[in-house]
Structure 1
Amino acid sequence: MSKMLAEIREQPTALERTLKAELRGFERLRARFEKERPRLVVLAARGTSDNAAQFGRYLIEVTTGIPVSLAAPSVSTLYHSNLRLEGALLAAVSQSGESTDTNVVLEEAKKQGAFTIGITNEPESTLARIADHAVLVRAGREKSVAATKTYTGQLLSFYLLAYALGAKIRIDDLRLLPDLAAKALTLEKEVAARAEKYKYARHAVVIGRGLNYANAFEWALKMMETCYIIAERFSQADILHGPIAMVEPSFPAFVLAPPGPTWPVMNEMITKLSGLRAETLVLTDKSNAEAPKSALRIPAKLAFKPGKNGPALPEDLLTPIPYIIPAQMFAASLSAVKGLDPDQPRGLSKVTLTL
């Protein structure tokens, strides 16, 4: 068994450990932000961490109304331009905490008046040391080059950050996530069987929308890293603005289709792909009765229903973590089917240093 697959299986425990250990720190942040709410949130990251940041952007804007920007590190590292960040919150995300350009962005943000948070899996890292507040993803050492358990830990950290920023997310709801991750893991055998069909795939598209848009990027990245598939990733809206033209009969298409606000447009996308005779794999869950019978279903009802007196939060609020796990398992399985080693992708190392 690959290290990647072993680490995918560790995610329920890692999520539970992270939530338990980091909650007190986020309660302190919540008290701080109640007194002085950031006018803007800026997120800095690269690679898989950047996909997690994309999720953070959607989540924070949807649940708090605070504008969120994804940093362009080259503005600081290559153009040496100073951004005016007084009253802003800068959150830098890095699995290793040693991503050079991400750390430069964080240091520059501190100089320009931002309060800074560092989200990392490494407590002794540069990022953890230089941030005003360090958030530790308690995933344990990740040995596979392809990040899996650190990604879901970062997603959980963004739920907690949204909570700290005033989102009406309940901690009791977040405590459901380890169990939902465990439910997703039960699909391992079915996912491996489904992967066999794509053994000779060289190109693919992955399509998402809203809170699962980031997962489209992450699923595609995992296939690029571990299976050497040229996997393009799009929102359901963007693919219709031109790229849909490349889809032809038997073209592999992977669709993240949870219940909730994005389902109507994702359903239209599934119908269009069917008309084009694409080789489509739809990922959904037990609560989505309208999804195709051929869909890969997480055996849990993930449609989020707030309590009678609870906040009006999106129905797909809790889907991103359980939805990425079958995608991770798919990439690991397909890599094995292709006779590749998902733990040591060619040309890659665990820590990438860029400026």
Structure 2
Amino acid sequence: MSLMLKEICEQPVALEQTIQAEQEKVKKLGEFLKTKDIDLIVIVARGSSDNAALFGRYLFEITTGTPVSLCAPSVFTLYNAKLKLKRALVIGVSQSGEGVDINKVLESAKNSGAFTIGITNQAKSSMAKIADETLLTHAGPERSVAATKTYTGQMLHFYMLASALSGIKLGYKKIPHFCDAALKLETEIEELVQRYVFMENCVVVGRGLNYGNSYELALKLMETCYVVAERFSSADFFHGPLAIVERRFPVILFAPSGVTKTSNIDLLKRLKELHADSFSIT
């Protein structure tokens, strides 16, 4: 078993540990933030953490009604801009908590009057020292270069924080169970992916709450399988990018039930007409 697969299999336990250790803290944090005059949420991250942040953006806007911006760290680190964030909640996300540009944004936001939160896997990290409040992903050491259990841990924290801020019960306590059930599909997945062993290019499509996951899967394909993987929203894919699809071109689609189902089915029908090789995750 590879180190990456081993850490993937550790996700149900890591997620459950995070819920048990952090849910009361998140609940109290939510109650405190409701007393502040916050009209903007800013999330700053890089890499896989940035893909988790993209999920967080959709979730916060849907549940709280508060506009969310994904921060461009270079605005702070290269252009030395001073943003007006006095009424903002700024959330930094980093597995190690040592991303220099992420931490610089947190410091600048804090100096401008924003309330800052750090989501990290390292309790003694620089991020934990800078942020007003730290939320930990209790994933244990992540030795694989490709992030897995910390990525899902970060998304879990967005669920818990969104629930605390909105008062909506999001059912996040079921997530470790769902993760465990997904891992039981390993043998089936191994058989399905044999057809893609020689894949060199593909497109990964997702929409809404799965848009960030499309970015993350594409990143994983690039960094672990050396596949050139483009990623799109299913809504955007119809406008221009669909032209790259030819016979047997691989398209991986996040296609859950729910509000995106209709547009996903429309896309699958069009891909069938083009004789693409469609693989749906549902």
TM interval, short-chain normalised: over 0.9
**Who is 1:243 aligned against?**
241
- Residue of structure 1 in register with 2:47 after alignment: 47
TM-score (norm 2): 0.98
Counterparts of 2:100 and 2:213 in 1: how far apart (Å)? 24
**In 2, Cα distance between the equivalents of 1:250 and 1:219?**
20
Partner of 2:70: 70
Per the alignment, residue 277 of structure 1 pairs with 275
Structure 1 or 2: larger helix share? Answer: 2
**Which one-letter code corresponds to 1:282 in the other structure?**
S
Shift of 1:164: 2.4
1:176–1:37 CA distance, 2 compared to 1 (3 A): farther
2:246 & 2:260 partners in 1: Cα distance?
24
Cα distance per residue 1:271-298 (max 9 Å; x no partner): 11111111111111xxxxxxxxxxxxxx
Counterpart of 1:184 in structure 2 is: 182
**Conserved 8 A contact 2:27-2:161:** no
Residue 159 of structure 1 deviates from its aligned partner by 0.6
| Deviation for aligned residue 1:7 | 0.6
Report the equivalent of 1:208.
206
Any idea what the Cα deviations from partners look like across 1:41-94, whole Å, max 9, x if unmatched? 000000000000000000000011000000000100000000000111000000
Alignment of 1:1-355 (within 5 A): 1-170=1-170, 173-284=171-282
Q: Could you say what secondary structure the match of 1:134 adopts?
A: strand
After TM superposition, what 4+ stretches of structure 1 lie above 4 angstroms from structure 2?
Answer: none
Q: Deviations over 1:157-202 (max 9, x none)?
A: 00111122224125xx211111011111111011111111011111
Aligned-partner residue type, residue 220 of structure 2: K
Q: Distance in 2 between matches of 1:164 and 1:116?
A: 16
Code of the residue aligned with 2:132 in structure 1: it is D
Contact 2:98 2:126 in 1 (8 A): yes
Secondary structure of 1:165's match? helix
Give the TM-score, by structure 1 length: 0.78
Q: Is the 8 A contact 1:220 1:231 kept in 2?
A: yes
Identity %: 52
Uncovered stretches (5+) of structure 2, i.e. residues with no partner: none
- Cα distance in 2, alignment partners of residues 75 and 84 from structure 1: 13
Are the equivalent residues in 2 in contact too, given 1:52–1:151 (CA < 8 A)? yes
Q: Which runs of 5+ in 1 are unaligned?
A: 285-355
Shift of 1:34: 2.4
The one-letter amino acid paired with 2:237 is: I
